[in-house]
Amino acid sequence: MKAIAWAVLVVGLACTAMFVATGLSADRELAWVNGWMAGPMILLFVAPMMFSLAGKLGGGFAALRGGVPKEFLGAPIAMGTVVAVSRTGLSVNDQPQLEIQLDVDTPDGRSFRSAARQIVDLTELGAVRPGAILPVRYLPDGRVALATDASQQELQASLDRVQLAKGHVTPKQLHIAEQGADAQAVVLAMAPTGQVRNGRSVVHLTLRITRLDGTMFDLVQEKAIPPTAIPQLQPGSAVRVKYLPHDESEVAILTTLVP
């Protein structure tokens, strides 16, 4: 865009020079009114507009790619729990920009408070609420941006590592999540134990899992469930799981990040 702006400026200067030369060399009353008048118009209006637009696209708007500012591209992914949400007063096409306060947990076990600003579609406002878990890309100085460019595989891998670092899953459960076979399961029963572990309700889950060959087996597991996942695990719900074909004593349950 800057190259185009400079090209426009050069054209404007050339046309202006011809405009002045033509006007000075003629003796007619309207000598200055000629086709080269486009030169001054380009210098006064078009070129400044082009440079302004180039500045916005190159820096002022952080050269957004896939919804993530350029400086965050390739940055590691962490999980942010929404603490508070407020509107900044800015909107784009009637979609509000939100300032989202987050408690960020990284795969290496660090935690910190940060904030991200994001344009959010009106239909998605319900997903950005206190308690929701949002994936973010983070920089060493603690700044974050929502990881809207990340693939589902990247998000799941980061979530698994964060869960391990916080003690929500065991190394065996992480191994199942990363190496296990995909399968479908139906929740037959969910019974609360009355225990709370790290802010999560501990429940007994009875699952009926369909193997890769179409046969089924039942499994009862004790799980510490985050509040956002409880609606997905009601009796009768179908869920994705992973299991090891040679060891069916435990499964990893895959729930969405933002239900």
Q: What is the pLDDT of residue 2?
A: 44
C-alpha distance across the termini of the chain, in Å: 40
Q: What is the pLDDT of residue 141?
A: 92
Q: Are residues 173 and 242 in the same domain?
A: yes
Domain boundary among 100, 129, 153: 153
Q: Is the residue at 124 inside a domain?
A: yes
Q: Are residues 247 and 173 in the same domain?
A: yes
Q: Are residues 88 and 133 in the same domain?
A: yes
Q: Is the residue at 182 inside a domain?
A: yes
Q: Are residues 48 and 78 in the same domain?
A: no
Q: What is the pLDDT of residue 218?
A: 94
Q: Is the residue at 137 inside a domain?
A: yes
Q: What is the pTM of this model?
A: 0.56
Tens of pLDDT, residues 21-60: 555 555 554 444 455 555 455 445 444 544 444 443 333 3
Domain boundary among 102, 121, 153: 153
Q: Is the residue at 161 inside a domain?
A: no
Q: Are residues 140 and 178 in the same domain?
A: no
d(Cα 87, Cα 119) in Å, to the nearest integer? 10
Q: Is the residue at 159 inside a domain?
A: no
Q: What is the pLDDT of residue 18?
A: 56
Query: What range does the domain containing 226 cover?
Result: 167-254
Q: Is 1 helix (H, G, I), strand (E, B) or coil?
A: coil
Does residue 184 contact residue 253 with C-beta atoms inside 8 Å?
no
Q: Is the residue at 160 inside a domain?
A: no
Give the CA count within 13 Å in the CB-facing half-sphere of 249: 3
d(Cα 147, Cα 119) in Å, to the nearest integer? 13
Q: Is the residue at 39 inside a domain?
A: yes
Q: Are residues 30 and 76 in the same domain?
A: no
Please give the tally of structural domains in the chain: 3
Domain boundary among 153, 180, 199: 153
d(Cα 254, Cα 241) in Å, to the nearest integer? 6
d(Cα 211, Cα 49) in Å, to the nearest integer? 62
Does residue 116 contact residue 136 with C-beta atoms inside 8 Å?
yes
Does residue 189 contact residue 206 with C-beta atoms inside 8 Å?
yes
Q: Is the residue at 196 inside a domain?
A: yes
CATH value at residue 83: 2.40.50
Which residues of the chain fall below pLDDT 70? 1-67, 256-259
